Structure 1
């Protein structure tokens, strides 16, 4: 059943859809929905019918729209009262942050991109440090100033990930401090005037000094020899400062170990001075913090990987929206097409999640994309076991979806006699890197006419997917539909074994 108000594009959308339909738009600068520009209608339709957090600032005053997914990240202070209000009234407390970003987009100076950005807001009565990965992009409107009617915000709150990373780092530090009472701790006393460092066995072994010699006392230079050359000048400068000032010393640095390995240590101590200000005794402890440093490195790598994956997903979805917008005949047609394509993308995403984002095999990806059409007995595929990278999984998944959709409507899968054969192989010519060659071949029917216009599927098969894997793609309609993809194996994944 459709809305009889003439604002049919506002149907659905959960709680925020209901709020938008009942809102008094006549008293708003944007006017009644029936008179909204088509670009705003389309953007709002996308916003209401996605499970991803999205926000719209429309017009010079930045009238606010948002969806149910975004509502979960704001408190009662702004929901639902912010709907239809100017941006600055709603977001005054963070205007110094987002105001210039909105202005950049509205002035035609390009989109913005922010990863794990701190944007503190008040929600549910509490001022919170909230982290976001988000993009501000233009919504075109030929009648607006600069040809831009508003700003589309695609975002994800990353506060839980940031908090988890901080807790993990703090936990790693506490763990090292707890372990320091055992083999990870070494104590030392340096008689500065006699240049004799007396250290226990644990400290001596950590610094590569004979424990017997360290027990009797050895020059500081023998301990300094173990410090990594890149860290030594910094450590010497900090030690010199403590000797001159009689202050505290605390420094983290690397120690070279037998066999070429490295250990990280935290050295803490203090130097006492005589009445004339000359250094007397420099005492302290050293902690082995290697595990903590490795944990910090893993966290940094994890955060970079999370950022990369989120950004890649945004790029794929935005590409879908852009290409589908060019070819959809109506808002309803656009909605149906984009829903199917995002569902196909989610199938590929599920494979990646189940494989801990290490990738997926071609046969698994094919099966996942063909499954919704219920034609598995009409499709055969064979080739060596190739594990696709995460990026290749997403783009090949989109290609397989477009091929299967077309086949189910116009091709082999639309006929009981039709067959689809998908084959792939890896080979290389002399002096060239290995390449993957993949063929999707349909038989059992005759192509009546070659398509005159290039639709979204053709663009995906001939340009988007091949370019994403640094390869080439071609379509042939001479004897049923055949799609050929040739790409460097290094851009796709790796061969495991023949199946």
Structure 2
């Protein structure tokens, strides 16, 4: 079967081609002027009737329309669709295969296009993510679109192309995602109880019960009801007063919100301040309920003249949660009474100051506040657990979290900090138990590495064997000590390199140059072992074996090239001034196996060794995905030189 456009491909319509696409604005003009004879589609006069009809439809509508045509899915589109493309794509993609036009999008839609081309049935896709490259970067773009077949009897499946009617919905999707994120954050964080219920009506239309669809963490504190989701109110509280069902039933039917205070004898004789409103489709008969347990206030109102003082003491004594917010730079912009109760600063004293005022001096010295914010910026949330400092100097143990609050476009607009004072819950013992388990885990890992070193090390005599093993175990111990000093949060790369290289220096020099970078615990020890082996080799055979030899170590953090590709650590080792290298070593010893095992197999990276006559050159590249690697919030380390004493 011949390609479209050749003389035997199909009957040539006698009508001039451009007349069939006389409309279409800018894209109509571009299509008419395009050299189609130089493409597999052939001249416009040879195009099949189905394509000409679809093309006429595309060029005479103001709705965004796109056409995939032919076995390699050549691109045709109208002015309305061109508005969605950036200058990188429009008008470059006209007439070229889509997989070349938008390689970032093709893997996500190829199966959809093939489904229509081979099956001949239309498809529908709503708010589907199809990223495109525009305005100098790859953007996450959402579309609602339909695919319809364009007939061509000359093809095996009778379909020559796909007609795409589409509409970009990125703004709507991002707005919905932002609203859902804020709702979820508020739902989990607020101290008020919140639930959504589905009303149940009898055959006469009277509300007689409701089922709990969703409840927040504060619900249990305010009601004492365990496992409420999926169960009905009468299951949990058989003697609940009928007026609760009547009030919520009216809200579900009329859609009119209401606020009231009411008594629930079946719930330990409690009083509640309630705001109820309808949510979702009215046919679902669902009601959202925001409420507070105001039992203490109501009882205090009925008490003697000291009720206000007693109520104040009760409320202040129960406030062991600190909930406050900061701006994107970490400066306090909202300081509720709960935060004042836990930390001792008044709102006037706290607002405008960094949240780091609540951290201990030693945590500030090790830049824990900055690392915490960096982790929250990267992952969306970070734990906030540890000893914190009150205004009066007293330390309290806080368990909580820091959550990044973002604009619809992903920019950080601030941070929500929620912490509970759990000092009285013997936090010290719990922390000690956790630390003991961590030390046990790390010790077992270290012993396993030592066993491997002992098993694989080869030497001509016992003295040499002991020296080699001692050096390798010392490298492991130095990394272990560095991690322990940093409380297993990570290891500073510059400090790790300095510690591993210093023991090898006599009259030699090592120059180090790279940005400040904190490695995750899982990467520190393998990388330390690799550097030790490079230094050992240099001390035996290379630049560190003679006085005046030099080693240069440089590194950088390279971001991923695509949105789903992880960043990578790239480290270069260069030797100079050592004995000339006539040829690469004839066999791989334990050191080479250590490099292979740590860099390639353990860290999933890549390694190259170049045995130049002037000295060894080694390149190491390892991924930083799924690790707690944090770029320190400080300038890059200046180039430094270690010299032997």
Q: From the CA coordinates, give the structure whose radius of gyration is larger.
A: 2
TM-score by length of 2: 0.33
Greater relative contact order, per chain length (Cα 8 Å cut-off, separation 6+) = 1
Higher helix proportion, which one?
1
TM-score for both structures, normalised by structure 1: 0.42
